[in-house]
Amino acid sequence: MGLTEEQRARMNELRELHKKAAWERSVVKEKARIAECVENFAEKYTFSDENATEMLNGILNEMPFMNAGRLDLECFSEHMEVSADELSSQMVWICFLMGSPETFEIYVSGELGNVLGDYDGWYSISPYLLLMYGDLGGFLYIDDDGNMTEVVL
């Protein structure tokens, strides 16, 4: 005797709930790993909430990537090499452009000066970073050689 349509629907619902709970557990583990990679994380940084995560996912999904981690900067009308000293107190969202699938769902905010001071820790998580300005008016793109390019949106 097979399952009724109602039983199948309930089983599929439970399967989806299990997948979602497993995903959430793996994101929590990845957040803990990220916090361990950066010295004094809790004093300088915060993880994004659900609204900020959705907003940043939407922005990143529209970005022109040449391949994993490599942003196609030629698609932006205004971009230039920049010295981050002048922007050190600017609040940014750290967007990881390489890493585990969970890493792409995690965003961290902090002051640009702190992010650059902790660059080795961030690099160990992802060699390509996009540091979105808090006002969403532009970002810094850091490639795997540590070269920084500012893009104005």
- How does pLDDT run along the chain (153 residues), one tens digit per residue? 688 999 999 999 999 999 999 999 999 999 999 999 999 999 999 999 999 999 999 998 888 876 667 777 777 766 565 555 666 788 999 999 999 999 999 999 999 999 999 999 999 999 999 999 999 888 999 999 998 888 887
| Helix, strand, coil % over all residues of the chain, rounded to 5 | 50, 25, 30
Helix (H, G, I), strand (E, B) or coil at 98: coil
Question: For the chain, what is the domain count?
Answer: 1
Strand partners, 91: 111
Strands 91-96 and 148-152: unpaired
Which residues constitute the domain of residue 22?
Answer: 5-152
Question: Hey, which bits of 22-147 come out as E strands?
Answer: 46-47, 65-67, 70-71, 79-81, 91-96, 107-111, 129-133, 138-142
pTM (predicted TM-score) = 0.84
